[in-house]
Amino acid sequence: MFISGSQRLGRLGSAIFAEVGAWKNEAAARGLEVIDLGIGSPDRPPSARVMAALAQAVQRPDVYGYPSSEGSQAFRETVARWFTHRFGVALDPAEEIVALMGSQDGLSHLALSITDPGDLALVPDPGYPIYAASLELAGVQPYFMPLTEPNGFLPRLDEIPQEVADQAKFILLNYPSNPLAAVAEREFFERLVAFARKHRLLIVHDMAYSEMAFDGFRPISIFEIEGAKDIAVEFHSLSKSFNMAGCRIAFMVGQKDAVKALRVLKSNIDYGVFNAVQEAGIAALEEDMEQPVQVGSLYERRRDVMIAALAEAGWNVPKPKATMFLWARVPSGWTSRQISREMLMQAGVVVIPGDAFGPSGEGYVRIALVQEEEKLVEAAQRIGRFFRDNGIG
């Protein structure tokens, strides 16, 4: 019997990440020292306090039983306190919070828990690949909202056909944005809430980069808009803000029926986050409430260094207000995938082609600021030589 994998797997989205991995292996085999600015995985460890909390917790015999699929009461109560501290929003730990094994856990399963096959959902293009992949798994039809540079990479809500908006079950957005590094202001969220109310839509807001903002910008929660808790859920992650990507811990909060639905699904497919990891998450949130994390200032410095170095190399890239990414328009005459491959093969610098995130990403590449400053400068210098060798500029 030969197993080739289901047709569904082939429709899950772009295989570019595996393709870029193969390019990296090819470049390394040629003897190139690769600087990887591809995957957005933090390059620093959690704080000493978080690591100590994890180390202490794993020594306790009581943490090795099955955890609660909804998250421990202590973790959910800490999330509620942090949310009030950070956003001024009160949450009910009993009904409005569910712990997740990373935000991708929740994003991949939410559609399964709140929609039926044949339903419709509004998703961004470009967007993080799991957005469309989760709909494929659930048998839900996507309606892609193009996010374009002239509109600040915000969707034009008034251009969504009324019949589409009325049919859709939810609208999914992500600000600060991966891959676009775009942000949304309060005025947009007010229009979004009004739009969702008009069309009886659930808002699904992915806010994994809430603490990675620059130049005094402070991202707001959707729940800071009056009435949003009745029609929205929001994902938050400890992966990027607290350098806990490998721990796999995040949470979804908000509309209690959607939270309950995801809890029910998770109770049938997993037993939740390892209790020791939840203890580390509690430590991270408590530490942030006592003294805010400095992750934003770290990536702000890296952003400034990299943008200046790229400008010197002949590549002018807009300065984002948030995230760990740059969204850079490729030079004329190149496709996203072509320049990404050639920069890796000729210069040893990994970036992700924009079309990996949807058709509207063509013409851009995503650059992750996941190296120390000297490595970022070296990467920009290599790109400069690549530009000169290929007559770009």
Of the residues 290, 313, 339, which one is the last residue of a structural domain?
A: 290
Whether pTM > 0.85 for this model: the answer is yes
Measured between alpha carbons, how far is residue 312 from residues 66, 315, 378, 382 in Å?
54, 7, 12, 11
Same domain, 283 and 320: no
Same domain, 39 and 58: no
Peptide bond into 126 cis (omega under 30): yes
Contact in structure between 320 and 388 (CB atoms under 8 Å): no
Of the residues 290, 316, 344, which one is the last residue of a structural domain?
A: 290
Q: What is the reported pLDDT for 2? A: 67
Count how many domains the chain has: 2
- Tokens matching residue 150: 């002239």
Q: What is the reported pLDDT for 221? A: 98
Same domain, 342 and 309: yes
Q: What is the reported pLDDT for 383? A: 97
Report DSSP letters for 4-23, one per residue: ---HHHHTSS--HHHHHHHH
In order along the chain (393 residues), what is the average pLDDT of each group of 10 residues? Answer: 73 76 90 93 95 98 94 97 98 98 96 97 96 95 97 97 98 98 98 98 97 96 97 97 96 98 94 96 97 89 98 96 97 96 96 95 98 98 96 86
Q: What angle do CA 16, 19, 24 make, to 5 degrees?
A: 125
Of the residues 256, 290, 324, which one is the last residue of a structural domain?
A: 290
- Tokens matching residue 111: 């559609």
On whether residue 241 sits in a domain, the answer given is yes
Instruction: Give me the residue label for tokens 């289901």.
Output: 6
On whether residue 326 sits in a domain, the answer given is yes
On whether residue 1 sits in a domain, the answer given is no
Its domain, for residue 361, covers: 7-45+294-389
Same domain, 23 and 140: no
Same domain, 93 and 218: yes
Same domain, 17 and 56: no
On whether residue 2 sits in a domain, the answer given is no
Buried b / exposed e along 184-200 (16+ C-beta atoms within 10 A): beeebbeebbebbeebe
Same domain, 93 and 66: yes
On whether residue 126 sits in a domain, the answer given is yes
Domain with 385 in it: what CATH number? Answer: 3.90.1150.10
Q: What is the reported pLDDT for 128? A: 94
Same domain, 41 and 95: no
- Three-state DSSP at 364 gives strand
On whether residue 333 sits in a domain, the answer given is yes
Measured between alpha carbons, how far is residue 49 from residues 42, 101, 112, 143 in Å?
18, 21, 37, 44
Domain with 244 in it: what CATH number? Answer: 3.40.640.10
Q: What is the reported pLDDT for 10? A: 74
Same domain, 299 and 357: yes
Number of Cβ within a 10 Å radius of residue 33? 9
Number of Cβ within a 10 Å radius of residue 373? 15
Name the DSSP class of 88.
S
| 287 conformational bin, left if phi > 0, alpha if psi -120 to 50, beta if neither | alpha
Which residue type occupies 237? Answer: S
- Tokens matching residue 73: 């009461």
Same domain, 249 and 326: no
Q: What is the reported pLDDT for 6? A: 79
Same domain, 78 and 16: no
On whether residue 173 sits in a domain, the answer given is yes
Phi, psi of 388 (to 5 degrees): -65, -40
Same domain, 249 and 376: no
Q: What is the reported pLDDT for 13? A: 64
